[in-house]
Amino acid sequence: DQQVKQNSPSLSVQEGRISILNCDYTNSMFDYFLWYKKYPAEGPTFLISISSIKDKNEDGRFTVFLNKSAKHLSLHIVPSQPGDSAVYFCAASVSDSSYKLIFGSGTRLLVRP
Amino acid sequence: DTAVSQTPKYLVTQMGNDKSIKCEQNLGHDTMYWYKQDSKKFLKIMFSYNNKELIINETVPNRFSPKSPDKAHLNLHINSLELGDSAVYFCASSQGGRLEAFFGQGTRLTVV
């Protein structure tokens, strides 16, 4: 049973435009969400996170939006750059002492020059 | 300096063998993890150690045994390897209850 879902396996965007990656979750106990970026043959790299007490968190070109009522979060990348081409994983957790991240299946982003 | 390093990067072995994957982090973190990325690309947690104490043990076959000799190291030993164990295994670490984990580059295990 997938508790974190990324329904778009891939996304292609023109350089300079906005990339929007989506993530849905089913467990209402999740209270902390993260996005990771992964290049081929490398480990995932932490990108940005958001606590459930917020609905938006911004870091440079990256903004994560959280809609708790819809159990939906999204990652916006503006402007998109070719170096952003990677697989993006959404992850969620219950911020107790379990330290466990539940990952989605990833979305492959291609930014075309 | 690599923050979280795993060895080996690639491992090809026959069914029935026993193998180990090593992980070291130089970030001073107190929590380390093993994740498995299966053929469908899902990353799933296997184990977590906090200050050398096992705190997460997901439904993993007991052929998999983690060992943490100290806070900077978490090794994964796998007995009697099976074809279905083929996957990419990632080590990760984090600090002080923070969920932002730093990942190693992964070990691609292929069982033939």
Query: With contact defined as beta carbons under 8 Å apart, do B50 and A105 qualify?
Result: no
Q: How far apart are CA B62 and CA B71, in angstroms?
A: 22
DSSP E strands: which ranges in A31-85? Answer: 32-38, 45-51, 56-59, 62-67, 72-77
Which chain B residues are Cβ-neighbours of A101 within 8 angstroms? Answer: 43, 45, 99, 101
The tens digit of pLDDT for each residue in A29-87 reads 999 999 999 999 899 999 999 999 999 999 999 999 999 999 999 999 999 999 999 99
Q: Which of A10, A39, A101, A108 has the highest number of chain B CBs within 10 A, making it the mutation to test binding with B?
A: A101
Checking if the pLDDT of B45 tops 80, the result is yes
Q: Which strands, in side-by-side order, build the sheet including B19-25?
A: B4-7, B19-25, B73-78, B64-70
Query: With contact defined as beta carbons under 8 Å apart, do A74 and A21 qualify?
Result: yes
Which chain A residues are Cβ-neighbours of B101 within 8 angstroms? Answer: 46, 101
